[in-house]
Structure 1
């Protein structure tokens, strides 16, 4: 009797050569076959994949840049192999299976560290990469106005500007002007363009920062964001949410908020009058160095 009499011809479980391993794992775990056929784009048989293949599969290898906390990393970070961490923020609680190269420096921008690494390896920086690194430094330091900015950031920016063949002041103004164009952006796009979640022993809270060249533009954004903040609390399952609306030229931030005691904590932290429409903080433009530490201290005192 020929083998074709025993063959299954319908409801076959096969995978395409371009399917992602993460996508086929669930199917393989539910069906008790040992091997599964792999087909090309024309439906031709190429080979088999087995459960054993999945067990021996190498994890995705990643490098964390400009963050080191699990809450700020990509989804399923625990399933990846972290090779390096390059950052300039506070050190969080992320754990790794084996030792990794961890470089953390108190600078205004992670791109300053990357600029240093190019030099240490004697690798020439391409013009377009120099432009990207320069833009990141100008953005993170708010054109050198932020208290997080160091002399190393300024020197790196000047060197990168020469490579990129741009004028720093002109480039910065054009960049911030483009970033302040909120007309064609949704509420979600504006809010999540720079949003981070932080944790204390008692509270989980989020802080978004939006920068622009004029207070008038920021006031329009505030009105657009206020109704959205309650959604963020539920979606992210956090206790409080704050939005820093930073006026780059005036070097000040108006902070709007949502959540139980969010306004009181902010007002107490900076010794201001509580105002449900937002609190203006003159001279406060850095989330990392000025807002977060002060908020966390106020939260600790509240407990």
Structure 2
């Protein structure tokens, strides 16, 4: 196609194509059997992680549609506010946003997890749910099930890739899936679409510093230490850098509010593929210096091209804490 996308761009393109195709039923579903029938409940709730991103929402919608086509009464939900990028994707695809999952979902309800598998990133009473399926591209966390479940994890760019592989139209990697599905997606100019998509994603006007810090944010446990790690991906890093002091104050508030050992927040420059991580204090300063072998100047560390939370940010932190329990 003559297009050169960064690893971030392919992730977004794939997400929107998958949501359009699976929800509209354009892909023939004669896939691998996932489950013969739901056991004992009228509805299975399909949802992604807290502070949902586009992959989380797209995969929940697409997987719910796939399960329904197999006779399972599945419904997509989300656990937090949608960001502007996801709203743009849904509007473009003419797909309605899922409902918010009720906090009082009964114990024993059957649920399907997509794009996450750790309790700290899910509903508060996940331990009381009956997890029947889990589709994810992150590391294995503390997932447990009360009975055998259909579980599929793969180290790919996004959960939507795994979902596309489960369907009949499957290719070997993220780029091939995008190329294969583009003709039936209705998107004729991928580069133009990506430009508009990033413009929507980068629009942070009207958001509070709390909303920015917690917009793409997850809780991790390292050697029994509770850490919060968040990122903001944008075309306009200076907009966030100009709010650096306010963002640092918000990080300190969240650290106290959620009783965290530490909190980290990265400003991801999409165009230049650069990660500038804000350092609120200690022990963050010590940990980041050692884990990433970088200097911290004026409460900020340049992590270079470390852009992926799951592949390039969390693993070095895990290595550090395993060596320094």
TM-score (norm 2): 0.63
Provide the residue aligned with 2:35 in structure 1: none
User: Which protein is bigger by CA-based radius of gyration?
Assistant: 1
Residue 210 of structure 1 aligns to a residue whose secondary structure is: strand
Q: 1:170 to 1:82 in 2, by over 3 A?
A: same
Structure 1 residue 297 corresponds to structure 2 residue 319: yes
Partner residue of 1:247 out of 269, 280, 289:
269
Structure 1 residue 169 corresponds to structure 2 residue 191: yes
More displaced 10-residue stretch of structure 1: 226-235 or 161-170: 161-170
Provide the residue aligned with 1:29 in structure 2: none
- CA distance, structure 2, for counterparts of residue 220 and residue 119 of structure 1: 48
Within 5 A, what are the aligned runs for 1:206-225? 206-225=228-247
Structure 1 unpaired stretches of 5+: 1-56, 123-149
Indicate conservation of the 8 Å contact 1:240/1:257, yes or no: no
- CA distance, structure 2, for counterparts of residue 187 and residue 80 of structure 1: 33
Provide the residue aligned with 1:180 in structure 2: 202
More displaced 10-residue stretch of structure 1: 161-170 or 172-181: 161-170
CA RMSD of aligned residues (A): 2.1
How far off is 1:256 after superposition? 0.6
Which of the pair has the greater relative contact order for Cα pairs under 8 Å at 6+ separation?
2
Provide the residue aligned with 2:128 in structure 1: 79
How far off is 1:202 after superposition? 4.3
TM-score (norm 1): 0.67
The count of aligned residue pairs is: 219
- CA distance, structure 2, for counterparts of residue 156 and residue 219 of structure 1: 36
Provide the residue aligned with 2:249 in structure 1: 227
Structure 2 unpaired stretches of 5+: 1-105
Indicate conservation of the 8 Å contact 2:108/2:129, yes or no: yes
Partner residue of 1:117 out of 166, 182, 186:
166
Within 5 A, what are the aligned runs for 1:19-168? 59-119=108-168, 152-166=173-187, 167-168=189-190
